Amino acid sequence: MGQNGALGASSGAVVLGVDSSTQSTKVLAVDVETGAVLASGQARHTVSTGAGRETDPEVWWTALQDALSQTGEWAARAEAVSVGGQQHGLVVLDAEGAPVRPAMLWNDVRSAPQAAALVEKYGAEHWAQRFGSVPGASFTVTKWAWLAEHEPEAAAAAKAVRLPHDFLTERLSGAGVTDRGDASGTGWWRSDTESYDEELLGSLGLSAGLLPTVLGPGETAGQVREGLPLRAGAIVAPGTGDNAAAALGLGLTPGRAALSLGTSGTVYAVSRQRPTDPSGVVAGFASADGGWLPLACTLNCTLAVDKVAALLGREREDVEPGGSVAFLPFLDGERTPNLPYASGLLSGLRHDTTAGQVLQGAYDGAVYALLGALDEVLAVDGGAPSDEPLLVIGGGSRGTAWLETVRRLSGRAVQVPDAGELVALGAAVQAAAALTGEAPAAIAARWNTTSGRVHAALPLDDATRTRLAAAMPLAAQQR
């Protein structure tokens, strides 16, 4: 495949893909024809650790310029650029486009009371049918409600309200725009009408005129302004949220899901049907290519299993088969299933139970919950999975114990793409589509972005699945 991390030369068109995440900004310079990564750059961010999680948006802009400078000649040569960014963050700007205050990030949970109040006021069914998702504390709408209540002066000073990727796109192009993928995570963009809900905005004291124009697939934000460390006049694509960008990078088609093993676990797939889940398990995001991207998330994944390994004094791969353990490692409560007050639950211990079996039990419980979330995601389109291997990404995808557990509890083959930096790669796909007019899926297929080792399916471990299913009601009883 072209996207192999090797630096190289290109005689054809070049595009830039940007990943502005919570912790850093990464840039890939990519050959449009082959998908070869020609150069890359990265610059770190600073995140507050006080009462909330915040970052000055100017840090993102400085980091983007630093990362671009690390790509050498390619920034000046690239013909198009796109920004994939962390979702949900609240960026409040003054009339000059300067931040009124630090941006509230997706993982700032101070707005949990406002989220609960909004759901209670309108009802979960209302949110699901209109917006595709039931808002939690991560959603932008709840952060604005918190700001209006606790910092009314900052809310009154707002002359523009943006998402993180919008802020960078506007700095590049001068255009106040967003895309439907990222807009669908705000809580004020209706997925049923694909428009802002002015009635809701009015109740929050926010004018739709302060929000960016939502661009559709095939539209562009404009061109790169003069005086920046990249080619003036280059096409600026709409950009999108990080999960939607990764889906573009993988070239997902309906029925084929991605399972991400990180600090938290995430599963998503492209669907033909618009998601409307009133339980809140499935977030009904829009995809960047005009479809839908149902997504579900578990809180306890690699971090929880690593904690169990540390408590047992074992390395993370020191697992042992067998035994009768059922372990639900819900160390931080759990989002899927919705058990916010749960804690880790271990049952089935015997005199001959080993530490390695307990550790394997933690893997089993984490993967079991994530596969349950996957079932909910696939149910949006009728529950029929693709015959292709399940795509497994994220840090855990490099771990033998994680992959074997996914294969054993799903009964499916899994494929681990060789490609790294899938958000930046997906942004590059979007930039290439804006440049050439091709469909993003066709570009991803040409770049062969999912190329990687396929691990054959293992026999379905019904015994472990049965033990974990029996333990789940016990976890639900915790308060």
User: Would you please indicate which residues are annotated as catalytic (active-site) residues?
Assistant: 242
| CB-neighbour burial class of residue 40 (10 A; exposed 0-12, middle 13-18, buried 19+) | buried
Query: What DSSP element (H or E) covers 410?
Result: helix 400-410
325, 362, 317: which is closest to 463 by C-alpha?
325
The three-class DSSP label of residue 83 is: strand
Three-state SS annotation for 434-459? HHHCCCHHHHHHHHCCCCEEEECCCC
Radius of gyration of the CA atoms of the chain, in A: 22
Q: Which residues pair with 260 in a beta bridge?
A: 266, 393
Q: CA 89, CA 166: separation in Å to the nearest integer?
A: 10
Q: CA 280, CA 135: separation in Å to the nearest integer?
A: 8
Assigned token pair, 174: 């001068």
Q: CA 430, CA 239: separation in Å to the nearest integer?
A: 7
End-to-end alpha carbon distance in the chain: 50
Between strands 390-393 and 414-417, the pairing is parallel
Q: Phi/psi at 222 (nearest 5 deg)?
A: 140, -145
Instruction: State whether the Cα torsion 468-474-477-479 is positive or negative.
Output: negative
Q: CA 308, CA 361: separation in Å to the nearest integer?
A: 10
State which amino acid sits at residue 349. L
Query: What DSSP element (H or E) covers 265?
Result: strand 265-269
Assigned token pair, 25: 């900004």
Q: CA 429, CA 431: separation in Å to the nearest integer?
A: 5
